[in-house]
C-alpha cells in the first residue's frame, strides 16, 4: 500500500518520493528494484511519471553502527560500544531496534531535503504503537537522572537528596541483579556508560523525530480491512494517534468486495447448463449478502470518524498486487478516490 501511494504521488502529482520499508517480501523488493542485501536508495522506474520514486530497505544494524560512528567523539568509544554484547543483540536480532533505526532513517531522509514525500511503512497495529511511542521512550531513557546511575553505579552521592534517590535505585538494581545475574548487569552498565558520550545527540535526535511526527506536515494513514475486529483495531489506533497528537489523514480499507457484478439475474441464459449456473448464482447471492453485512460495519465505522479523515476503499483485485504495474494501478485507484472524498 505504501508503494502504491508512492507510485501515485510520483506519477500523477509529480512529487519526489521515497518509500522506506522495514522488511519487504522478495517479489515486491524485486518490483521496486531493491537489493535485499543493501539499504541504499534505489530509483524505481515509473512510466510517464512527472516525478520520481526511490525506495529503500531499512537495515537496522547498519543504521545503528553508522549512527554510533558519526556521533561518538573518539574511535575507542565506537569500539567499546560496538564490542558490547548487548549492543550487538540490540542492533541485530532484538526487537526494539527497528523502531529507533526506522525513525532515525526517516529523519535523515527528511533532513536531506531530497524528497517532497517520504512514506514509511510501519509494522502491523500491535507493533505500530511501540513504533510511534519509541521517541518518547528513548528520550525518557536518556534523561540525565537515569544516565547518571549507569555512568557510575557505585559512586556515593554527595548531596542528601541525591543520596536518597541513589539508595532506592541501588536497592532496585540489586534486586534486578538477583533476578538476572551479575553478568547481565555488568553488560548493561558497560553499555550505558559506553553510550554516555552520545547521550546528548541521542536525546536530541529522538526529540527531533517526535517534533517531525507531530508536525502538521506529517500525515498518518491507517490501512485496515473489511472486518469487524480489524475496524475496531483501526478505531483504537485512531484514538491513540490523536492522543499522541499525531495527524491521522486517511483510513484505507483493503480487500473490499469485487466490484461490477449485477444484482438482478433471473433467467438462465441460453446454452448454459442450468445446474451449474444456478449454483454460481446462489454462490453469488451468498457473496452479496456477506458483503452487505460487512458494508454496514464499514458505514458504522465511518460514522465514528472525524470528518477531516478521508476514507478510501480498495477493491479486491482479481490479480495480486505485487508488480510495479499493479502498484501503479492501485495508486491510481487511491488517487482517484482521494480526490473524490
Partner 1 sequence: MPQNQVQAPVPGGGIKQKILFVSGKGGVGKSLVAAAVARREAEAGRRVLLVEIGDLSYFKDLFHLERVGHSPVRVPGQGFDLAIWNGESCLREYVLHYLKLRRLYHVFFENRVIRALINIAPGLNEIAILGKITSGIRKVGPPLDYDLIIVDCYATGHALALLGAPRGLMEAVKIGPMGAQSREIDSVLRDPDLTAFWIVTLLEEMPVAETLEFYQRLQEEFGIQSEVIVNKYLQLPISERELETIAEGDAQGLGEFARYLGAVAERQGRFLKALEKAGAPLRKIPLIFTTETDCLIREAEEALRTT
Site for partner 1 in 5-34 (CB under 8 A): 22-23, 25-28
Q: Which listed range, 61-69, 70-78, 202-210, 315-323, lies at the site for partner 1 (CB under 8 A)?
A: 315-323
Interaction of residue 304 with partner 1, rule CB under 8 A: no
Q: List the one residue from 152, 175, 219, 341 that touches partner 1 (CB under 8 A).
A: 175
Among 99, 171, 170, smallest CA distance to 139 is for 99
Under rule CB under 8 A, which residues in 227-286 are in contact with partner 1? 227-230, 232-233, 236, 254, 258, 260-262, 265, 269, 271-273, 276-277, 279-284, 286
Q: Are 93 and 53 in contact (CB under 8 A)?
A: no
Phi and psi at residue 17, to the nearest 5° = -115, 140
Segment near partner 1 (CB under 8 A); pick from 69-77, 104-112, 140-148, 304-312: 140-148
Find the part of the chain contacting partner 1 (CB under 8 A) among 8-16, 70-78, 144-152, 211-219.
144-152
d(CA 123, CA 120): 10
DSSP for 76-116 reads HHHHHHHH-HHHHHHHTTSTTHHHHHHHHHHHHHHHHT--S
Binding partner 1 (rule: CB under 8 A), the pick from 62, 214, 322, 332 is: 322
Q: Is 216 in the site for partner 1 (CB under 8 A)?
A: no
**Could you say whether residue 151 binds partner 1 (CB under 8 A)?**
no
Dig out the grid coordinates for 156 from the structure. Answer: 556515593
C-beta of 113: minimal distance to partner 1 in Å? 31
Q: How far is the CB of 213 from partner 1 (least distance, A)?
A: 18
Q: Given candidates 42, 62, 123, 249, which one binds partner 1 under the rule CB under 8 A?
A: 123
Direct distance between the N- and C-terminal alpha carbons of the chain, in angstroms, rounded to an integer:
18
Interaction of residue 102 with partner 1, rule CB under 8 A: no
Q: Which range of residues in 40-48, 75-83, 121-129, 302-310 is near partner 1 by CB under 8 A?
A: 121-129
Integer Cα distance of 332 and 10 in angstroms: 11
With residue 222 as reference, give the H or E element that holds it.
strand 220-225
Nearest residue to 121 (alpha-carbon basis) of 102, 104, 94 = 102
Amino acid at each position: 500500500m505504501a508503494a502504491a501511494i508512492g507510485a501515485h504521488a510520483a506519477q500523477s502529482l509529480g512529487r519526489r518520493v521515497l518509500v522506506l520499508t522495514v522488511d519487504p517480501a522478495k517479489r515486491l523488493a524485486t518490483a521496486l528494484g531493491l537489493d535485499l542485501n543493501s539499504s541504499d536508495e534505489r530509483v524505481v522506474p515509473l512510466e510517464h511519471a512527472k516525478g520520481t520514486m526511490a525506495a529503500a530497505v531499512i537495515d537496522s544494524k547498519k543504521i545503528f553502527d553508522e549512527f554510533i560512528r558519526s556521533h561518538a567523539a573518539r574511535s575507542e568509544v565506537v569500539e567499546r560500544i560496538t564490542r558490547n554484547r548487548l549492543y550487538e543483540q540490540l542492533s541485530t536480532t532484538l526487537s526494539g531496534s527497528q523502531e529507533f533505526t526506522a525513525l532515525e532513517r526517516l529523519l535523515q531522509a527528511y533532513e536531506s531535503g531530497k524528497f517532497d514525500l517520504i512514506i514509511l511503512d510501519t509494522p502491523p497495529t500491535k507493533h505500530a504503537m511501540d513504533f510511534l511511542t519509541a521517541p518518547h521512550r528513548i528520550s525518557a531513557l536518556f534523561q540525565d537522572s537515569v544516565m547518571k546511575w549507569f555512568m557510575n553505579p557505585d559512586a556515593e552521592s554527595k548531596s542528601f537528596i541525591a543520596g536518597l534517590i541513589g539508595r532506592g535505585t541501588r536497592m532496585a538494581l540489586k534486586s534486578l541483579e538477583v533476578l538476572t545475574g551479575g553478568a547481565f548487569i555488568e553488560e548493561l552498565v558497560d553499555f550505558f556508560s559506553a553510550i554516555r558520550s552520545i547521550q546528548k545527540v541521542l536525546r536530541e535526535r529522538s526529540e527531533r523525530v517526535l517534533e517531525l511526527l507531530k508536525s502538521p506536515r506529517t500525515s498518518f494513514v491507517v490501512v485496515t480491512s473489511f472486518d469487524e475486529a480489524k475496524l475496531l483495531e483501526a478505531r483504537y489506533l485512531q484514538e491513540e494517534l490523536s492522543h499522541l497528537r499525531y495527524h491521522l489523514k486517511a483510513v484505507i480499507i483493503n480487500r473490499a468486495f469485487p466490484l461490477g457484478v449485477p444484482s438482478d439475474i433471473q433467467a438462465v441464459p441460453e446454452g448454459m447448463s442450468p445446474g451449474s449456473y444456478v449454483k454460481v448464482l446462489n454462490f453469488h447471492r451468498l457473496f452479496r449478502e456477506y458483503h452487505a453485512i460487512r458494508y454496514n460495519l464499514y458505514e458504522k465505522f465511518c460514522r465514528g470518524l472525524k470528518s477531516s479523515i478521508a476514507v478510501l476503499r480498495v477493491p479486491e483485485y482479481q490479480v495480486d498486487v505485487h508488480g510495479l504495474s499493479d502498484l501503479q494501478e492501485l495508486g491510481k485507484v487511491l488517487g482517484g478516490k482521494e480526490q473524490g472524498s
